[in-house]
């Protein structure tokens, strides 16, 4: 494969964003709330009925708010329960500005984009059962008590909790290998993302590969829209790669959530369950599998839509959720991120991507390909001036290129702890 490699160098604005994003991933320190809400361990010697009752009350209340009445329930091979919920009863419509309304009709697609609206194959484990959700409903992964009790904070389950932002990238515990563009006005982005099942060494670490659509000052008013796949034992209780979304309008402080765990994202599709496990996945020196995602701003109504594969609309983020993103994005970012908790005093062995470095290439290293953005004219165009950055290149690295088949692309990832990454 002929390619021209991009020069790797950091920029101040991207480093600041990475630090901010790193500072708001799931927090695992104990707090007063956590003392009240965490599940009782068998090793606890003191039973406090008042605290237990309060914990149970909060947990049941949150579950009632998240899990909506199901018209039908489907058992997934991985143990998930998928509830088929009437579209207008999904969590998004708990929002005051959406109460009593119904999902919008499909928007105008970007120019130079020719969707087929055909799902060529099942890509989630739950669909292997052969059952589907009826028209007029949306499939929602049921949240269990166990899911909530694994969380650092039951009150903020499904959200990223903001911590103090540190300015040195070596001590915040989050490591990245990303490609990005900035400096212009962006109205969407598209990429095909190679799917693997990286090893995650601790329940409180994760490995993800995603795209970010970003606007704001990188302070308290940061807006992001995010989609991709993640392995997160804390959030899901296993090591399957799962399709996910996220959004925030205040730098992860009080707004936003993963998937459909709060009122925000409006799902319009009855065949894709956000938060459900992806299958198949890629194998080293074997078959490769990727998912294509497109996020773009509807020129007519201003909402941000999410498309999967060849034209399958998943749903949309209403424009009123945001401040800066009501207009446009100022940065688009693609790539991988892991948590390095250094639990044993060493760098984590949590893998990014395939768990192999970028230099190993196709079939061995994970990739993003056909990177594009949507411009002011609602046209899907190739990236210009793609920059790539690995903040811990001895642990996880990245190499970018361009060719006639994959357009703009990059390989990225790594094994974490190794002789050059102690």
Phi, psi of 224 (to 5 degrees): -140, 150
Q: How far apart are the first and last CA of the chain?
A: 33
Spatial separation of the C-alpha atoms in residues 62 and 110, rounded to whole Å: 38
**Nearest CA to 147 among 133, 158, 137?**
158
Q: Is 341 helix (H, G, I), strand (E, B) or coil?
A: coil
User: Partners of 223 in the beta sheet?
Assistant: 215
108 is catalytic: no
337 is catalytic: yes
The secondary element (H helix, E strand) that includes residue 148 is helix 145-150
Contacts of 186 (CB under 8 A, 6+ apart): 213, 328, 329, 330, 331, 332, 373, 374, 375
Answer positive or negative: Cα dihedral of 121, 104, 230, 263.
Answer: negative
How many CB atoms are located within 10 Å of the residue 325 CB?
Answer: 24
The answer to whether the beta carbons of residues 278 and 123 sit under 8 Å apart is yes
Spatial separation of the C-alpha atoms in residues 416 and 422, rounded to whole Å: 9
Pairing of strands 312-317, 304-308: antiparallel
Pairing of strands 366-374, 407-413: antiparallel
Q: Is 319 helix (H, G, I), strand (E, B) or coil?
A: helix
Spatial separation of the C-alpha atoms in residues 314 and 243, rounded to whole Å: 11
Greatest C-alpha distance within the chain: 67
Sequential DSSP letters for 1-62? ----PPPB---HHHHHHHHHHHHTSPP-S--HHHHHHSPPPTT-----HHHHHHHHHHHHHH
Q: Is 91 helix (H, G, I), strand (E, B) or coil?
A: helix
Spatial separation of the C-alpha atoms in residues 320 and 266, rounded to whole Å: 12
Spatial separation of the C-alpha atoms in residues 58 and 148, rounded to whole Å: 11
| Given the residues 175, 226, 234, 307, the one annotated as active site | 226
Catalytic residues: 226, 337
């Amino acid at each position: 494969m002929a390619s021209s490699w991009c020069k790797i160098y950091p920029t101040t604005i991207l480093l600041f964003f990475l630090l901010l994003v790193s500072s708001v991933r799931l927090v695992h320190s104990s707090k007063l709330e956590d003392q009240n809400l965490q599940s009782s361990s068998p090793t606890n010697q003191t039973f406090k009925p008042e605290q237990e009752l309060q914990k149970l009350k909060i947990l049941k209340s949150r579950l009632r708010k998240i899990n909506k009445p199901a018209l039908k329930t489907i058992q997934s091979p991985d143990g998930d329960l998928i509830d088929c919920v009437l579209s207008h009863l999904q969590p998004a419509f708990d929002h005051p500005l959406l109460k009593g309304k119904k999902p919008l009709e499909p928007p105008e697609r970007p120019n130079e984009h020719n969707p087929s609206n055909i799902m060529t194959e099942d890509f989630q484990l739950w669909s292997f059962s052969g059952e589907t959700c009826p028209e007029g409903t949306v499939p929602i992964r049921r949240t269990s008590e166990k899911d909530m009790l694994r969380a650092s904070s039951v009150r903020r389950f499904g959200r990223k909790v903001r911590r103090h932002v540190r300015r040195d990238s070596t001590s915040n515990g989050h490591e990245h290998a990303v490609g990005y563009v900035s400096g212009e006005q962006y109205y969407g982005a598209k990429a095909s993302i190679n799917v693997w099942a990286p090893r995650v060494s601790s329940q409180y670490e994760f490995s993800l590969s995603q795209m970010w659509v970003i606007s704001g000052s990188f302070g308290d008013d940061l807006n992001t829209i995010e989609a991709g796949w993640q392995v997160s034992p804390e959030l899901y209780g296993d090591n399957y790669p799962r399709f996910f979304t996220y959004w925030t309008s205040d730098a992860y402080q009080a707004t936003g959530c993963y998937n459909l765990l709060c009122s925000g994202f409006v799902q319009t599709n009855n065949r894709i369950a956000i938060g459900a496990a992806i299958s198949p996945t890629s194998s080293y020196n074997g078959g490769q599998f990727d998912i294509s995602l497109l996020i773009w701003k509807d020129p007519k109504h201003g909402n941000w839509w999410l498309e999967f594969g060849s034209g399958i609309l998943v749903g949309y983020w209403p424009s009123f959720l945001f401040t800066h993103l009501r207009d446009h994005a100022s940065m688009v970012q693609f790539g991988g991120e892991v948590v390095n908790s250094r639990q044993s005093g060493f760098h984590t062995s949590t893998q990014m991507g395939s768990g192999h470095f970028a230099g190993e290439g196709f079939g061995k290293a994970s990739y993003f390909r056909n990177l594009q953005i949507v411009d002011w004219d609602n046209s899907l165009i190739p990236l210009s001036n793609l920059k790539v950055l690995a903040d811990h290149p001895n642990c996880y690295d990245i190499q970018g290129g361009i060719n006639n088949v994959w357009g703009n692309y990059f390989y990225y990832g790594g094994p974490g702890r190794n002789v050059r990454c102690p």
